[in-house]
Amino acid sequence: MTDTIDTIHAVRAEFDTAFTWDYEQSRAGLVKLYEKAKTSQWNATADLDWTVDVDPEKVGQELGGGGTLRFQALAEAEDSPVRHFGDAEWRTVSIELQKSLLSQFMHGEQGALLCTARIVETVPWIDAKYYAATQVMDEARHVEVFARYLSEKLGTQYGINENLKGILDDILRDPRWDIAYLGMQIMVEGLALAAFGMMHQITTEPLLKKLLRYVMSDEARHVAFGVLSLQEYYAGLSGPELRERQEFAFEVARRLQRRFAHTEMWARMGVDPDAIYRTMDRVQPPAQRMFQQLLFSKIVPNCKKLGLLDTADGWLRERFTEIGVIEFEDWVDTSSEFSELDEVARDREAAGA
């Protein structure tokens, strides 16, 4: 079952397709990533055991149960739209929440697929074109595995969250090649990597656990690709140009926070999503704040690595301080840690593949 949505959504954009006749691979970090990507490709059909029986209720209790705590505090508000919920309703929330979460990851991966194809066309360096081409394959595989897991194991998909849809539309409309990097590779993929890590730690369902580990191995390279490429490019931008990127990054961050209100789930359950937003803004449950803050554990250090935190005016540093996520600035950035997550190649080597 899937929410009723238009099957095709078109985004109109004008941008320059960039050929480069310089084929020298001069960026060592990107060359290393490209070589790693070539040896780390995996096959969703052959490398994952799709015969595993999955209990949607158990998966919901594991993954959705923690999420339910983020929303149960909303019931304490006098005019809360979930004040009347009992045990049965909260069990439903725990099950539907993880279906909603995995659905948004699926939609986000298709956004990454299109954005990375755009990067192949628009980035001016041959090293980056080579690597981005491998990521296009990665993203297609990620869409495939999430769609298959939702369809075959959980039986339900949700339509795309409006906040996520708006972010993807804005990224794809922008003609500047670096915005696709910043919006997708750093912000959306960085947040997804943190969320995947949390889910991987929590779940005991073997198929989902292995699926997430494989996806995380790819995603760590993807975010590292964005950091390595933009670090070089942003070093040459002017103050006003950097400020534009800071404002874009912060706006995406705020909209990503709103994405995790799961409005599509509440609508399916007959609860007014706007009422959920209003209650969350007023109540701000501690579990919800902690969850949203942890999602920025990859984004903030990556922005710092790009030089976006420590500009002359300190604008982005102030904004991240205001929303309580600046504490993550000295955590390991993804370009430094991707090798630790590159488990797929080692798995295949151990299996003799």
Domains of the chain: 54-350 (1.20.1260.10)
pLDDT for 116: 97
Residue carrying the six token digits 């943190």 = 194
The answer to whether 119 and 128 are in contact (CB under 8 A) is yes
pLDDT, the chain, mean: 88
Return the half-sphere exposure (C-beta side, CA atoms, 13 A cut-off) of residue 200. Answer: 15
Q: Dihedral of the CA atoms 132, 138, 142, 148 (nearest 10)?
A: 140
* Sign (positive or negative) of CA dihedral 154, 157, 163, 166: positive
Question: How far from 237 is each of 101, 231, 240, 242, 333, CA to CA, in Å?
Answer: 36, 10, 8, 6, 21
113/8 Cα distance (integer angstroms): 15
Q: Kindly tell me the sign of the dihedral angle through the C-alpha atoms of 112, 209, 38, 305.
A: positive
**Collapsed DSSP state (helix, strand, coil) of residue 2:** strand
State yes or no: pLDDT of 287 exceeds 80: no
pLDDT at 352 over 60: no
Decide which of 3 and 271 is more confident: 271
Q: What is the pTM of this model?
A: 0.90
Query: Which residue(s) pair with 157 in the sheet?
Result: 2
Q: What Rg do the C-alpha atoms of the chain give, in angstroms?
A: 20
pLDDT reading at 339 higher than 60:
no
Q: Which two tokens stand for residue 280?
A: 């969350």
Distance CA(149)–CA(50), nearest Å, equals: 9
pLDDT-wise least confident of 14-28, 167-181, 204-218, 254-268:
254-268
Cα dihedral angle (186, 191, 197, 202), rounded to 10 degrees?
180
Q: Model confidence over 148-192: pLDDT tens digits? A: 999 999 998 999 999 999 999 999 999 999 999 999 999 998 888
Which of left, alpha, beta for 157 (phi over 0: left; psi -120 to 50: alpha)? Answer: beta
Distance CA 301, CA 313 (A): 18
Best mean pLDDT range from 7-11, 141-145, 287-291 = 141-145
Q: Which residue has the tokens 């995996």?
A: 42
pLDDT band at 87 (very low <50, low <70, confident <90, very high): confident
For residue 171, CA distances in Å to 14, 116, 132, 252 come to 12, 11, 16, 10
The pLDDT of residue 3: 55
